[in-house]
Amino acid sequence: MPLGTYTVTAVADKSCPVGYACQSFSIACPGVLLAAKGWLAVAPPAAPMRGLVVMPGGSTGTMYWSTRTALTTAMTENLRSAGFEIVQVKFKKRWMGSSKGELAGPAALSCRFSTAIQFVHDAIYAPAGGSNGGVPGGCGFCIFGTSGSSSPIAYALTHYGQEDIVDGAFPISGPVHGDMAKSCERHLQDEAFWIDESANEIDSSYGFGRSYGPCYTHNGSFESYWNRDSVVTGGNDYYYPSTRVHSIFGGKDQTGAVAIGLEVLSTMIDAGSPLISSQIVAGMGHGIDSDPNGIDALYAAITA
């Protein structure tokens, strides 16, 4: 799918994290009515540069990852100490929201994050001479996202062809848009994929309000849209010869995220991708940002 147009703007952000330089942007995407506005927060490495990590802020992408908890603050600083430049992406409004009645869908809306990824690579990482050191899957240029924001991490590969620039991708507790027909229709044989907490977010990507959209009401007549836009059914590329994809799930995650995420990984493995792996953190639920073992697992995956 085509990327959008990234425009640097001049809007200050009072919530810019300490130690970061924040710059605003506007991203216009094909087939999406409204441009997405937001900020990049950039912090240099505190050691000789080893790589760069791009991260959206939480499930909706509307806050900085490093400010979510004390654990996420410590993790980002540890990455900087290990030689990683950090670029956090924060959108003014949630990345997967479309205008009322606009049937854009999450695949088209993910153009927003993929366009930001491309800008960071071309304008920040490449000029700094970034490299994975010749190690396939090594960071290098890496991206991660959690829960709802794990979906654009997957879409960057499956729909936007960005395995050419991404060395490592880490979708955590998701992607929740992996197989929306199984998640939303609620057939008994697909019970492991059922979701509640993400139904309204899925519906918002098609311009529906809360508690009446087709995913929330399990309306199977919307299946063609879900199949068009899901990670595992609507993508055109699942083979990544040198991009490492590693997912982390909580052993106590009671959502459909585990089954959905494992299906996405299986699709990539079936296509012949050699660097696909997953990890279950025993005591972790759906959220990783308050679980020290989950944070340690993510740090270890990025620095591996």
Share of the chain above pLDDT 70, in %: 100
In this predicted model, what pLDDT tens digit does every residue of 100-122 receive, in sequence order?
999 999 999 999 999 999 999 99
The answer to whether the beta carbons of residues 267 and 232 sit under 8 Å apart is yes
Q: Name the fold adopted by 5-303.
A: Rossmann fold (3.40.50)
Entry pTM: 0.96
In this predicted model, what pLDDT tens digit does every residue of 123-134 receive, in sequence order?
999 999 888 888
DSSP, collapsed to helix, strand or coil, labels residue 25 as strand
Of 248, 20, 273, nearest to 144 by C-alpha is: 248
The letter for the amino acid at 247 is S
Share of the chain above pLDDT 90, in %: 91
> Which pairs from 185-194 meet CB under 8 Å and 24+ separation?
185/218, 185/220, 185/223, 186/218, 192/256, 192/258, 192/259, 193/256, 193/259, 193/260, 193/263, 194/256
State in Å, rounded, how far the first CA of the chain is from the last one: 31
DSSP, collapsed to helix, strand or coil, labels residue 7 as strand
Band of pLDDT at residue 96, cut at 50, 70 and 90: confident
Q: What is the CA radius of gyration of the chain?
A: 18
The answer to whether the beta carbons of residues 175 and 159 sit under 8 Å apart is no
